[in-house]
């Protein structure tokens, strides 16, 4: 399927999604948001795809957030799909890992998109911010909730209350960036991380993601371990992969994952 505001490539088990509005620093307006919802609907539904990389077209921006010029021309009207900004910030039923390859500016909704991914890989010149208070708004696509869970609260508040820009290296030190690499190596690094994920059972990866995220909602460790509902973990225990992994180890060969 052809897309107007994004590209969607399949490379083996990996999907590469690129926001394609470089003339607007990949800022998103309603048509782009709804189109990206369709892209990620397709990714989640495709059993042949096990991990996705999200990046932005061009060298300047990953995503500059909401297209404020478009919103102003629409008399302030803002339409967001049920799955949230870029079709992922309110998508809580995606079991597959997402990697953000941040190639430049990740501001506002753009930073919120990155925070909705499971890994954030950043080019050396990338910058992050939630600048909404500077224009009389607030980050409403999960950024306030996710950032305050991802790093110590005082550091998160320092970013959120000022809207200040944080370079990639500082983001790495604070803990919301997974790795920082030269710009020219960003996509290769993203594929390297995707490749490492693909070395693991997709059933195990999905169980791990579900348990880690759902456990954040359970304050007591004992309850998080014993009483919480983790269907993906139960599915892993019943899976062919749970048989294949130990068998391959015993036979000193690489496992052949089925994802079921």
Alpha helix segments (H runs only) across the chain: 30-45, 68-73, 109-116, 143-150, 153-160, 168-174, 186-198, 202-215, 221-226, 231-237, 241-250
- Quote the CA–CA distance of 39 and 212 in Å, as a whole number: 25
The answer to whether 59 is a known catalytic residue is no
Q: Give the active site residue among 35, 37, 112, 189.
A: 112
* Cβ atoms of residues 26 and 20 within 8 Å: yes
Tokens of 223: 């309850």
Query: CA 257: distance to chain centroid?
Result: 24
What is residue 22's three-state secondary structure?
helix
> Residue 30, exposed/middle/buried by CB under 10 A (0-12, 13-18, 19+)?
middle
> What is Dmax (Cα atoms) for the chain?
65
Q: Give the active site residue among 132, 169, 185, 251.
A: 132
Backbone angles phi, psi at 179, to 5 degrees: -160, 150
- Quote the CA–CA distance of 51 and 44 in Å, as a whole number: 9
The answer to whether 132 is a known catalytic residue is yes
End-to-end CA, the chain? 27
As annotated, the active-site residues are 112, 132
């Amino acid at each position: 399927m052809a897309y107007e505001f994004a590209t969607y490539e399949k490379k083996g088990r990996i999907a590469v999604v690129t926001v394609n509005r470089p003339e607007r620093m990949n800022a998103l307006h309603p048509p782009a948001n709804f189109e990206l919802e369709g892209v990620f609907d397709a990714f989640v539904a495709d059993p042949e795809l096990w991990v996705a990389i999200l990046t932005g077209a061009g060298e300047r921006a990953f995503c500059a957030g909401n297209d404020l010029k478009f919103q102003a021309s629409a008399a302030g009207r803002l339409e967001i799909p049920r799955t949230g900004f870029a079709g992922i910030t309110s998508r809580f039923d995606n079991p597959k890992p997402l990697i953000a390859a941040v190639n430049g500016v990740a501001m506002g909704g753009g930073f919120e998109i990155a925070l909705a991914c499971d890994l954030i890989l950043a080019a050396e010149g990338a910058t992050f911010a939630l600048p909404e208070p500077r224009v009389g708004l607030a980050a409403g696509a999960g950024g306030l909730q996710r950032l305050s869970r991802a790093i110590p609260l005082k550091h998160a508040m320092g970013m959120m209350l000022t809207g200040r820009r944080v370079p990639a290296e500082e983001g790495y030190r604070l803990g919301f960036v997974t790795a920082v690499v030269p710009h020219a190596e960003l996509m290769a690094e993203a594929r390297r991380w995707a490749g490492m994920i693909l070395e693991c059972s997709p059933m195990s990866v999905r169980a791990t993601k579900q348990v880690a995220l759902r456990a954040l909602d359970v304050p007591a460790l004992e309850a998080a371990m014993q009483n919480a509902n983790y269907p993906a973990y139960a599915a892993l225990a019943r899976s062919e992969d749970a048989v294949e992994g130990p068998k391959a180890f015993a036979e000193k060969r690489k496992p052949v994952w089925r994802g079921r």
